[in-house]
Amino acid sequence: MDSPLLMRSILFPLFLLFSVVQSRSYTSSQKIQLPGDSLALSVTDFGATGDGIHYDTSAIQSAINACNHHYTSSSSICRVTFPPGTYLTAKLHLRSGVLLDVTENAVLLGGPRIEDYPADTSSGWYVVVANNTRDVGITGGGAIDGQGSKFVVRFDERKNVMVSWNQTGACLGDECRPRLVGVVDSTNFHIWNITLREPAYWCLHIVRCENTSVHDVSILGDFNTPNNDGIDIEDSNNTLITRCHIDTGDDAICPKTYVAPLYNLTVTDCWIRTKSSAIKLGSASWFEFKGLVFDNITIFESHRGLGMQIRDGGNVNGITFSNMNISTRYYDPSWWGRAEPIYITTCPRSSSSGEGSISNLLFVNITIVSENGVFLSGSPNGLLTDIKFKNINITLRRWSNYTSGLVDYRPGCQGLVNHSATAGIIMEHVNGFSVENVDLKWSGDNLNDWNVPLEFRPSTVNNVSFVGFSSGLLHEIV
């Protein structure tokens, strides 16, 4: 059972949610006051210098441990405060009952050395991690910084080339870099009014958790860095993400299932820009996704908008996308995707993978401006079922000079496939697709690219209903 003190502490950030009126980034100006706080410990009292040069790891960890001791003896939340300054640190372990209070003009700076992240494998590399905890929070108005630029081997506007620590044997490939903040096997974790910036790898990683809230968080990654995900949610239930500003190089909000289902994820009132998918389910998808809601979200000039890559046999059921403004554009062939505003796919990752299904999806009140059309592709044993589009406006307009007509099935599946021309909506292996009040417009800049409003084969697509569907040339007022 949740403690009364913690429940009262949760109410304040959740109360702010109801004051949201539009999708944009926010910064809380109010000082956070959590009822039940009985002790505040400053890291400087434990010897932290905050000069950004000397490592303050030992002092910070001592303050966290002291706060945790207070919590276990009194059941009262304890606050670890960071006065203005820059606090260089190796890996930190958050403990139960501890609120990390990184105040305005304070920066918690992750170290750039492999010895800063002791762990048996790369899955344990984090600047800050809460592992097997309850009643933990991060707030304060300051920043946690992963120094991601120090992990770049070669800067490239197309895609940066990153350092890899795989020579240790802890991992393989070029994804061997530390994540910024991790929450693992924990209950009642709340992060709000904080900036997470320059992660070397993933930014906020939520793994096998219950009752997590992310509120008023700015995530600022390098737009050209691969695997620079914003928020990855794995095998976790009852997660709330509100009023976040995410500007990063890779998938912005990414639910995944490795070892358990993922239920009851709600994302509202966010602004997103990314060189990959703004919202993507998968591609890790061994178990079910159910009861997810995405509402009042702006996706700005991203490589992909709303995506599902179901590759490992898990099923998706009961997902709503509502009240969105989406603009997508094609950046570079080195990134997956072709600027699809909506990209829903199932296919086995390999010959040994299962085929998951996707059913009961609702897309409602969405405005789209994009270089490419909607892609809905099931597989013979992994159909897309009962997909509904309602009140959707789609405008197709080219920004880039890349070849049109290519469809990107990756990962797995068929790779890149040439469909010759850009279609407004492509459907494959679909059973049940209904359209109500959908308007598809084509920009007149290059009409040879826009020859196919709808593309599907009746042999693989059944039970299609169109009510109030219109398609035509966009007439712009000059």
Measured over all CA atoms, what is the biggest interatomic distance in the chain, rounded to whole angstroms?
Answer: 72
pLDDT tens for 338-386 read 899 999 999 999 888 889 999 999 999 999 999 999 999 999 999 999 9
What's the pLDDT at 18?
Answer: 33
Q: Is 136 left (phi over 0), alpha (psi -120 to 50) or beta?
A: beta
Peptide bond into 411 cis (omega under 30): yes
Token pair in block for residue 122: 């790369």
Q: Provide the pairing of β-strand 406-408 with 416-418.
A: antiparallel
Provide the 3-class DSSP secondary structure of residue 66: helix
What's the pLDDT at 477?
Answer: 58
From the CA atom positions of the chain, what is the Rg in Å?
23
What's the pLDDT at 473?
Answer: 86
Token pair in block for residue 466: 């169109």
Separation of alpha carbons 360 and 351, rounded Å = 27
Q: What are phi and psi of 248, to 5 degrees?
A: -155, 175
CA distances from 40 to 6, 64, 387 (A): 16, 11, 51
What's the pLDDT at 4?
Answer: 39
What's the pLDDT at 22?
Answer: 34
In 11-97, the DSSP E strands lie at 39-42, 51-55, 78-82, 85-89, 92-94
Cβ-based burial of 33 (10 A; exposed 0-12, middle 13-18, buried ≥19): exposed
What's the pLDDT at 53?
Answer: 98
What's the pLDDT at 37?
Answer: 60
Q: In sequence order, what are the beta bridge partners of 272?
A: 246, 299
What's the pLDDT at 168?
Answer: 65
Provide the 3-class DSSP secondary structure of residue 301: strand
Q: Which amino acid is at 61?
A: Q
Per-residue pLDDT of the chain (478 residues; tens, 9 = 90+): 444 344 334 433 433 333 333 333 333 434 444 445 679 999 999 999 999 999 999 999 999 999 999 999 999 999 999 999 999 999 999 999 999 999 999 999 999 999 999 877 888 999 999 999 999 999 999 999 999 999 999 999 999 999 888 866 767 777 789 999 999 999 999 999 999 999 999 999 999 999 999 999 999 999 999 999 999 999 999 999 999 999 999 999 999 999 999 999 999 999 999 999 999 999 999 999 999 999 999 999 999 999 999 999 999 999 999 999 999 999 998 888 889 999 999 999 988 888 999 999 999 999 999 999 999 999 999 999 999 999 999 999 888 887 777 888 888 788 888 877 788 999 999 999 999 999 999 887 666 667 788 999 889 999 999 999 999 888 765 5
Q: Is 208 left (phi over 0), alpha (psi -120 to 50) or beta?
A: left
Instruction: Choose among 153, 150, 147, 200: nearest CA to 178.
Output: 200
pTM of the shown model: 0.91
Other CB atoms closer than 10 Å to residue 465's CB: what's the count?
Answer: 11
What's the pLDDT at 391?
Answer: 98
Q: What are phi and psi of 7, to 5 degrees?
A: -65, -40
Q: Are 289 and 261 in contact (CB under 8 A)?
A: yes
Separation of alpha carbons 324 and 190, rounded Å = 26
Q: Which amino acid is at 277?
A: S
Separation of alpha carbons 206 and 199, rounded Å = 15
Separation of alpha carbons 341 and 277, rounded Å = 9
b vs e for 334-358, b when ≥16 Cβ sit within 10 Å of the residue's Cβ? ebbbbbbbbbbbbbbbeeeebbbbb
